[in-house]
Structure 1
Amino acid sequence: MAILTSGMPLAQRVALISENVTGPPGAEMLRLSNMASCEEVTVLDNASGAGILVSHLIDLAATAPGLQLQRLVAGDLDPEAIRYVKERQQAQLIIPFPDASFTHVFANFGILFSFEDGKALSETYRVLQTDGTAGFTTWKGIKWWADLAKPAFAKYLPDAPGLPAPEDIFPSPGWKDPNLILKKMDQAGFVDVKVTEFHFAPKVVPEEFCEATAALVKLIAKRAWSEADFRRYAGELEGAMLRCYQDDFGEGKKQVRMTALITIGKKR
């Protein structure tokens, strides 16, 4: 079933569409955190976006015997994102956070966009209680870039300037390499760190998938291209990707294979 996003602002619509691929790793991160076996928890969902992890947390609290979700905080740099999360789930935003405020801190694909991931990790460590759990999801690779975006540009926009891959422009590098992730977590003081590969294949609606991925491509193009090139080609990116998708896969929902990395660590 397609997501009902008509009439929504573009950024909010894209965030909701993207939850089809960010939601499953987020749910698996909660499972691997063993939070369901806890009793009283206080949770920070950092870089919450449109709030898919908040939804999973509320569902978990409603179904896990004995789990009491005492406090749930959603944080994001985008105030519009937080406004929407509050409307969607009635989550409470409380800032600033003193030391040892939470039993769990999660960031579902948020650490990739941190300009200082070392500081983000140290702050995560600071606000965790002793024996608290931190969880992060990241992409092992952006498969749709090689399988869809690059072929689409080569076929339908051959004169457009080249673009770097998304993983090459994330502010915080190294999060697709389990060994580097372990090193980062160790430097931040976390123990019992595990990095797990999570393979999944969500079914996507071609029009929605291409709209969401094209939004990221346009952000990359905005940085990489001249203003003249951006004005000339940006409006054609989504259409080129959709045409290429339909050339290869036809109409209707299709499964897209993806691999996320889920990192879980503890504070001692």
Structure 2
Amino acid sequence: MGRNLTNAVIAILVPLPSILFYLSFLNHFDRNSTSPLWSWCFHHPLLLANLFFFFNVNVFFWVISHFQSSHWMIDLYWTVIPVLLAHYYATHPLAQYNSWRSMIVILLTWVWSIRLTHNYFRREKWQWGAREDWRFTDMSRQYGKQWWWISFFAVYVSQQVFLIGVCLPLYAVHAVDKPLNLSDFVAAAVCLCGIVIAYFADTQLHDFVTRNQKLKEIGKPIVANLERGLWQYSRHPNYFGEQLWWWGLVLFAWNLGHGWTFIGSLINSMCLVYVTVLVEQRIPKE
């Protein structure tokens, strides 16, 4: 079995422990259940989501990464976990929500995920796990022999903070049953704008990189900077679109009285500023 097929099979099967456990919970739980385990799962949907993430992603992905000597899978699952969380929050027995708002948010989350997944595979030349994020590679060189345990926190635990955090509005949407109103359409428009901007920005960047690779192959000078399309207005329009998407989700939650969920997007935006600096420093070296 080739590496590409092996990685594809692993990526498809790896969330099964959480999915099977959750389906078992849905099949066996009722409100009069005397099982302490099912009762706890019922009363603590957010904590249960964090436990799924900790054991199935932090621990399981980390163990697999040692066998493969690569942390590629967390990058791919950034596009998948929000979809899983959206459906988890919508199907949890404690959920209460407006069905139209839920459908709009889940549909938008699927569109966002498909766009980002497409961009991931296009960037990786349609290969599963061809490489890991360059930041992880740099950190592995920096920490050397200590990287085996530091990676658990730097790669996986940190991702739990980000992903569970930015997806908090998905929980809020499925925790309040309030009629759809104009604010929801504003939030949906912001989310959709973010998806569209990120798509065109990433496509323009992909075309630019591809053209430069072709110029390099035939011995012609490459173009140093991308200054066309959306890139003439911003140095990182793809990041702007992605942040617009997450803050659009916050607007949904804010309208439902769960403005506190902005904390996840705030942390994500602040970290993105740091990542942007790293990218800017890396460009001259390439």
TM range (shorter): under 0.3
Return the structure number with greater strand share. Answer: 1
Structure 2-normalised TM-score? Answer: 0.22
Return the structure number with greater helix share. Answer: 2
Structure 1-normalised TM-score? Answer: 0.23
